[in-house]
Every structure is written in structure tokens, then in C-alpha cells.
Amino acid sequence: MLNAIDKELLKQIANLHDIPQGAYNIRKNGQGLVRNVTENINIITKEDKPGIDIIIKPGTKGESVHIPVILSSEGLEDLVYNSFDVGENSDVLIVAGCGIHNPGEKKSQHDGVHEFIVRKGARMKYTENHYGEGEGSGQRIFNPKTIIEVEENGVVELEMVQIKGIDQTKRDTEVRLHKNARLIVTERLLTDGEQCAESNITVELVGEDSTAQIISRSVAQESSKQIFHLNLRGHAKCRGHIQCDSIIMDRAEVIAIPEIAAFHSDAQLIHEAAIGKIASEQLIKLMSLGLTETEAEETILKGFLK
């Protein structure tokens, strides 16, 4: 059912070496490939548009949902709409992401819209990895959009990673946090060649004592371009922190625009942004231990994006 290319893509985007345990829905080249549901997690095909509904029962603990997408042909344009209902007091892991193997000259593109409602007291970790490969000259394009509503006492952890092979991406993330809700975002991004990446994250802290932390780390190499818009908007007594760090190399361009806006006197919001090159003393220290300059550079970048 899965060929060697499929398995490599699944390994890169979801750390899967075969069909996973638990609930899953694997999509290949615009079509559902294989699906499994559990007693507590149901997956239903949408009737009005391409995509699925994932329904997690209240109180579900220690279960996972894998919903990877793989494209292995040139000229594909795939669009999905996925909706998630994470039941009250549940604690689940959702693993998404998309991998493209483009062997030809035409572009291959995946656009995904994911909408979540995380119910009262629920905890969700959501990981989304993007990966591209293939000997063809056709572009590999991703445009994900993630919309999350977090109810009272809910906790959401987002991990968004794009490390290799994506020619063009525009990532939009919108989150609303209600009373005592908590959000942690970790974003890691690497671009090289002529690649372009744009990331827009907006968090609305609408509930009392809601908190948000956004950490974005990126490396821009060769002639690639990156732009980040990171926004925190405090509408109640709340706390939020943005940290955006980038390493720029060669002829690359990086634009980081952290923004904080307070609409309540007890909103506490902080932003930090830094763009710079690899420190020479770090290179010298590693080279003194026997590494070549290239090896030292790779070691530093790997640690920075870990």
C-alpha cells in the first residue's frame, strides 16, 4: 500500500515508519489512502468539501491522531478542510504535516485549512511538519491555515517545523484564548536557494488570566527570503511573550515584525526580536575541537533549530 517514497515522506513529516497505531487518516495525491478510528476518536469525511471531521470524546487521555498528507506526483494542487472537536478534559496528540516528492517540472501544491475547538479543560499538542524533496525542477508549495478556539482552562501546544525542500510557503495561524487558557507555540524554519517563506501568527487573549508564549527560530541561507508577522492582542488581564530569533547567511533576507497591542490595563505583553549571523567565536571554538568550518556551521545551525 505504501511504496518507498511514501514511507520516506511519512518518516520525515510524522516520524512514521509504517501505518501508525490508534486513529489515523493518510491522504495521498488528493485522495484518502487509509483510515482507522477508535472508540474515543472518530474521523468522518466531509460531505460539502474535501476534508475530514475529527471528533474526540470528552475525557479521552493518552491517545493520538495522525493525519499526514503526501504528494508524490508533479502538477498536483490539493486543498483540504479539516475540523477538530477536542472534547472536555481530554489530553491528546495530533500529528499533521505534509510531504511532497516532486519528480517533474510542474509545481505540486498543498493548501490545508485546519479549524479546532479545544473544549473546557482539554489539552492538545499539535505538530505540523512540512518537507519537500524530488529531483524535478517543479516547485513544492505549502499554504497552511490554522484556526484555534481554546475554551476555559484549555491548553494548546503548537509545534510547526519546516526544515527542508519547500520552495514557497505562506502560513497563517489564528488563536483565541478564553479564561485561564494557555498557548505555547514553537516555530522552526529553514530556507535556502531562492525559497520564500511567510509566517503570520495572531493570538487574541480575550479571557481573564489567559497566557501565550510564541518562540520562533529560523535560518535563512543563500538567496532565500523570510518574513514573520507575530501578533499578540490582549483584551483582558493576561500575559503574553513573543521571541523571534533568526540567523541570516549569504545573500538572504529576513523581516521580523513582532506586534503587541493591549486593550486592557492589566494586559502584560512583551516582544523580542533578533536577527544576526553566526558568532565567529562559536565557529572558532568548534573548529579548535577538530571540526571543519562547514561542520562547525552545521553543528551550530542544528542546535539552534532543535
Q: Phi/psi of residue 117, each to 5°?
A: -125, 120
Q: List, as one string, the DSSP characters of the chain.
A: ---HHHHHHHHHHH--SSSPSSEEEEEETTEEEEEE--SSEEEEE-SSSS-EEEEE-TT-EEEEEE--EEE-STT-EEEEEEEEEE-TT-EEEEE--EEEE--SSS-EEEEEEEEEEE-TT-EEEEEEEEEEE-SSSS-EEEEEEEEEEE-TT-EEEEEEEEEE--SEEEEEEEEEE-TT-EEEEEEEEEE-TT-EEEEEEEEEE-STTEEEEEEEEEEE-TT-EEEEEEEEEE-SSEEEEEEEEEEE-TT-EEEEEEEEEESSTTEEEEEEEEEEPPPHHHHHHHHHTT--HHHHHHHHHHHHT-
pLDDT computed for residue 164 by the predictor: 84
2: pLDDT strictly greater than 80: no
Q: How confident is the model at residue 257 (pLDDT cuts 50, 70, 90)?
A: very high
Note the pLDDT tens digit of each residue in 159-216.
999 988 999 999 999 999 999 999 999 999 999 999 999 999 999 999 999 999 999 9
Note the pLDDT tens digit of each residue in 201-253.
999 999 999 999 999 999 999 999 999 999 999 999 999 999 999 999 999 99
Share of the chain above pLDDT 90, in %: 83
The dihedral built from the CA positions of residue 228, 224, 197 and 177, taken in this order, carries a sign that is: negative
Q: Whole-model pTM?
A: 0.94
Domain span holding position 82:
4-304
pLDDT computed for residue 1 by the predictor: 66
Q: Give the mean pLDDT of 268-289.
A: 91
Distances (CA, A) of 80 to 34, 110, 113, 114, 251: 16, 8, 6, 8, 35
| Number of structural domains found in the chain | 1
pLDDT computed for residue 231 by the predictor: 96
